[in-house]
Amino acid sequence: MTAANYSEDTIRTLDWKEHIRKRPGMYIGKLGDGSSQDDGIYVLLKEVLDNAIDEFMMGFGKSVEITINENIVQIRDYGRGIPLGKVIDVASKMNTGAKYDSRVFKKSVGLNGVGIKAVNALSSYFEIKSFREGRVKAVRFAEGELQLENPEQACPEKNGTLVSFVPDQKMFGHFRYIEDYVEAMIRNYVYLNSGLTIQFNGNSYFSKDGLVDLLRENVNGDGLYSIIQIRDEDIELAMTHGSQYGEIYYTFVNGQNTTQGGTHLTAFKEALVKTVREFYKKDFDPSDIRTSVVAALSIKVEEPVFESQTKTKLGSKEMTPGGASVRNFIIDFLKKHLDNYLHKHPETADILLKKILESEKERKAISGIQKLARERAKKSSLHNRKLRDCKIHLNDNHERRLDTTIFITEGDSASGSITTSRDVGTQAVFSLKGKPLNVFGLTKKIVYENEEFNLLQAALDIEDGLENLRYNNVVIATDADVDGMHIRLLMMTFFLQFFPELVRQGHLYILQTPLFRVRNKKQTFYCYSDEEKQTAIHKLGVNPEITRFKGLGEISPDEFRHFIGKDIRLEPVRIKKGDHIQDILPFYMGKNTQDRQDFIIDNLRVEEDLVEAI
């Protein structure tokens, strides 16, 4: 083997835009095509929005306007506007910005002068216009390279900034913005900023009651008791208990949605247990207190430390240099305010106590089964072939762990094709044995009694919540036929019934595989719909060979690599605003046979009408 030539010529210095484009994961996490809410195109949007929100938080501008049209993103705020002589520097010089000066920006989200440069470098088109004191300055870039600098000129528009950009297809592929994801991001901004109005593609978003509105929008039905809202300087909490399994948390630092939690969430969980135990003077198990909790927590910190540029996990140990720790701050807050609330609202305290005792009863009833199930899963994982694991898990570096995927598939042929084709570094395969059980209406006891579900739970490591989730993407991969669709429904029911946060946090997907292969001697097209098939036939001309794939096992491993590689098509399983699990599951998976039959017949009639119209 020839040794690499390590010399002065091998040492390279990348400029700012080259480094961002070569190592985008350091700046925006994963790239993605928009099917996942943590894909990079949403981080680009967020980086620009954060600057607009910081202006509002400093008292400048009460509205922000966002439009996304054919992947062209425009964001207009009405803040102070960037000083006109520094517009180019702010857009293209790393570690440049006003947020190093705490007199100008306190407790802001953006701290390092990096975010807007990442947007610039990763966009095929990027333009900033700054309106300030009756004048405007505009600059335009492509992939971070300056294309146009207009001189300052008079302008009657209100102060503020207009940023327009198009994410670069060379980086993101054929991406798309999913409006549900953008809307969820916008709603979080308005929940945390009373008085702020955000316009998005003609719709207006505004929140009167802050975090209480957030819980009202997201709790499946009414909570078990009226939402508790307590607040103090630099901290706000809204919480209740629902009827779902698991715990649901929405956490924020300086308006940033910390989807991966961090020190503040850990402190809240500890503080909740301590406060409840002391209030009732009983040493309850922490899981019994927190089961079914739904809480939103927002704190403000000067100079917060996040674990990555994407700011999804707080790493700060202190509120300020030399100040109180985040942990002590939150514990003291809850011990004072939540304790006072429970004393003043005995009806809420009674409901909470009843919920804790019910959780304790259920936990004790299945504790023996849990222990045996864990031992069985541990033993089985050593000997069975249900799980073909990958080499990288969530304890690895941030950039790589966002790429981890597990495919849940049925049958030896399908799992064999995926196993042979996958990237063994980041992709795992879990093989189902036949159709899984319909778990609708069953208790969590079934998760431990049913070997299939117990082993799947162990493979994902989600028994105690999502903090240890071993794969960022959980993908249901079944045949595109009636049996495959049925298995999809059964698996979706399993996750919605027992692990709804897996769906809420955007980890669950359906793998889209081609229905047809259309080819001649020179070209091959893989088609995911009849429309794509007709387009391919038209492109290839006379008598192309057409193959209809009836199952995953029919696709050769060499072909399958195309469908689970960089061009993978994933359809996210989403819970939209207004969707309530306790309403959805009974209708689709319950025993309301006649209602469901009528629904199917009505929709078949609609489809027949469409066919006749065509």
Residue 209 makes CB contacts below 8 A (sequence gap 6+) with 216, 229
Q: How confident is the model at residue 330 (pLDDT cuts 50, 70, 90)?
A: very high
Strand partners, 476: 408, 510
Q: Are 409 and 370 in contact (CB under 8 A)?
A: no
Question: What mean pLDDT comes out for the span 77-82?
Answer: 94
pLDDT of residue 607: 41
Residue 547 tokens read as 């193959």
- For the chain, give every residue range classified as CATH 3.30.230.10: 211-363
pLDDT of residue 366: 84
Strand partners, 249: 295
- For the chain, give every residue range classified as CATH 3.30.565.10: 16-205
Residue 146 pLDDT > 90: yes
Q: Are 279 and 261 in contact (CB under 8 A)?
A: no
Residue corresponding to tokens 């506007």 = 81
Question: What mean pLDDT comes out for the span 339-361?
Answer: 96
From 3.20.20.70, 3.40.50.300, 3.30.565.10, 3.40.47.10, which CATH number describes the 16-205 domain? Answer: 3.30.565.10
Residue 495 makes CB contacts below 8 A (sequence gap 6+) with 474, 502, 503, 508, 573
Alpha carbons 4 and 128: distance in angstroms, whole number: 44
Residue 180 tokens read as 């549900």
Residue 309 makes CB contacts below 8 A (sequence gap 6+) with 26, 27, 28, 112, 114, 115, 118
Kindly state the helix (H) or strand (E) to which residue 139 belongs, with its residue range.
Answer: strand 135-142
Q: Please state which CATH number belongs to domain 211-363.
A: 3.30.230.10
pLDDT of residue 102: 45
Strand partners, 241: 293
Residue 214 makes CB contacts below 8 A (sequence gap 6+) with 187, 188, 191, 207, 238, 250, 296
Alpha carbons 117 and 44: distance in angstroms, whole number: 10
Residue 219 makes CB contacts below 8 A (sequence gap 6+) with 240, 242, 294
- For the chain, give every residue range classified as CATH 3.40.50.670: 385-513+551-579
pLDDT of residue 261: 78
Q: Are 251 and 297 in contact (CB under 8 A)?
A: yes
Q: How confident is the model at residue 113 (pLDDT cuts 50, 70, 90)?
A: low
* Closest listed residue to residue 496, CA positions, set 441, 424, 451: 441
Alpha carbons 178 and 200: distance in angstroms, whole number: 13
Residue 397 pLDDT > 50: no
* Closest listed residue to residue 501, CA positions, set 606, 400, 573: 573
pLDDT of residue 600: 63
Mean model confidence pLDDT for the chain? 84
Residue 377 makes CB contacts below 8 A (sequence gap 6+) with 454, 455, 457, 458
Considering the chain, what percentage of its residues have pLDDT values greater than 90? 42
Longest CA pairwise span in the chain (Å): 81
Residue 136 pLDDT > 60: yes
In CATH terms, the fold of domain 385-513+551-579 is Rossmann fold (3.40.50)
Alpha carbons 579 and 595: distance in angstroms, whole number: 18
Residue 354 makes CB contacts below 8 A (sequence gap 6+) with none
Q: How confident is the model at residue 566 (pLDDT cuts 50, 70, 90)?
A: confident
* Closest listed residue to residue 478, CA positions, set 430, 414, 427, 419: 414
Alpha carbons 387 and 429: distance in angstroms, whole number: 6
* Amino acid residing at 571: E
Most confident of 89-93, 145-149, 300-304, 587-591: 145-149
Q: How confident is the model at residue 3 (pLDDT cuts 50, 70, 90)?
A: low
Residue 384 pLDDT > 50: yes
pTM: 0.77
pLDDT digits (tens, 9 = 90+) for 457-511: 988 989 888 878 889 899 999 887 778 888 998 999 999 889 988 988 889 999 9
Helix/strand number for the chain, H first, E second: 22, 23
Residue 9 tokens read as 């010529």
Strand partners, 325: 318
Residue 530 pLDDT > 60: yes
Residue corresponding to tokens 């010399």 = 7
* Closest listed residue to residue 245, CA positions, set 3, 497, 413: 497
pLDDT digits (tens, 9 = 90+) for 268-289: 999 999 999 999 999 999 999 9
Residue 399 makes CB contacts below 8 A (sequence gap 6+) with 25, 26, 29, 30
Pure H helices in 154-226: 169-172, 179-192, 211-218
pLDDT of residue 603: 61
pLDDT of residue 9: 61
pLDDT of residue 111: 44
Most confident of 79-83, 96-100, 103-107, 587-591: 79-83
**Residue 613 CB neighbour total at 10 angstroms:** 6
- Which DSSP category does 227 fall into? P
Among positive and negative, which fits the CA dihedral 340, 346, 351, 353?
positive
Alpha carbons 46 and 40: distance in angstroms, whole number: 10
